[in-house]
Amino acid sequence: MELEALLNYPRALPAMSRTVSDLLAEMNKDDPSPKRVADLVSRDPALTTRVLRLSNSAFFRVSRQIGNAEDAVALLGMTHVRSLVMAAALGSSFKNVPGVDMVQFWRYSLRVADISRSLASLLRQNEGNAFTAGLVHAIGDLIMHIAMPDVIGPIDMGTPPLDLRRADAERMVLGYTYAEVGAGMAEKWQFPTTIVSALKHQTAPFEGEVYDALGGVLHLASWRARAEEIQLDERGLAATFPDMIGLTLGLDLDSVLGKDPTEWSFSSALTAFID
């Protein structure tokens, strides 16, 4: 299936709820209203529950329990609330995807989000954008599994979804990867252009005339999270480290490993996606 056809495949992209659409419209304003954002989140009980679960997880280490949408906006800020809204919406949209271990997928995605945010802080990039981009960076993989399971199944057998060579395998068969698919989805869902660009270029953030620093952060964070999933040892980490990406960003292997999550399992945050 061609990329454009995939992005227009009716069952592949989840429909955005009216609440999420209204939230994105408000948060995309130059001066969004915290009260309106909190009110919109509160209108959807399921969305509120998921947002609060994530807000109170180990990700944010808040000083007190967040009990409602108003608290989340006040304590976490608009950028992180945007991330939580998108995470909650995607968690409810992608519950069961044939051929995908959804617990592993969301655990891996949460790891990438956490590492991306930490690397962004080190590089003085926008941490909220990095967190969001990390969380949704592999969503294209779910879309491809839904839209064309007969094509993706054989790719999975030869190169599993979290294999370090996955993007190369997809490009060889399809001519594109989960990165371009995810960027297309993000564009349709009105994500900020910086995140759309990072998703699109994450597999080759500095190739040709492209220089996408957030894409580089995603590349390093996804490498680290995949390495953890497949349990690479010290020799394997050193051998597979994307050194040219690291060099361009001014990060070496130890710098990236130094941003490992304090909790790899993210058990509490996972309940926002798999319940």
Digit-coded pLDDT (tens) for 231-268: 999 999 999 999 999 999 999 999 999 999 988 988 88
Q: Count of domains in the chain?
A: 2
Q: End of a domain among 31, 58, 93? A: 93
Least confident of 103-112, 165-174, 182-191: 182-191
Is residue 3, in this structure, part of any structural domain at all? no
Both 103 and 78 in one domain: the answer is no
Q: What is the pLDDT of residues 130-161, one digit of tens each?
A: 998 999 999 999 999 999 999 999 999 999 99
Same domain, 43 and 160: no
Average pLDDT, the chain: 91
In a domain, 9, yes or no: no
Q: Is-above-0.75 flag for pTM? A: yes
Q: Does residue 6 sit within a domain?
A: no
Among the listed residues 106, 132, 119, 123, the one whose alpha carbon sits nearest the alpha carbon of residue 193: 132
Where b means 16+ CB within 10 Å and e means fewer, 110-125 reads: bbbbbbbbbbbebbeb
User: Does 129 fall in a domain?
Assistant: yes
Q: Are residues 83 and 177 located together in one domain of the fold?
A: no
Q: What is the pLDDT of residues 18-49, one digit of tens each?
A: 888 898 889 888 899 999 999 999 998 888 88
pLDDT at 59 over 80: no
Q: 86 and 70, same structural domain?
A: yes
**Structural domain boundaries, residue 159:** 96-275
The reply to whether 63 and 134 lie within a common domain is no
CATH number at residue 260: 1.10.3210.10
The Cα 150–Cα 25 span in angstroms is 37
pLDDT at residue 115, as a whole number: 97
**188, 270: one domain:** yes
132 and 44 share a domain? no
Residue 170 sits in the same domain as residue 68 = no
Last residue of a domain, one of 93, 126, 151: 93
Q: Residue 8 falls within a domain, yes or no?
A: no
**Pair (54, 43) in one structural domain:** yes
Q: Are residues 36 and 131 in the same domain?
A: no
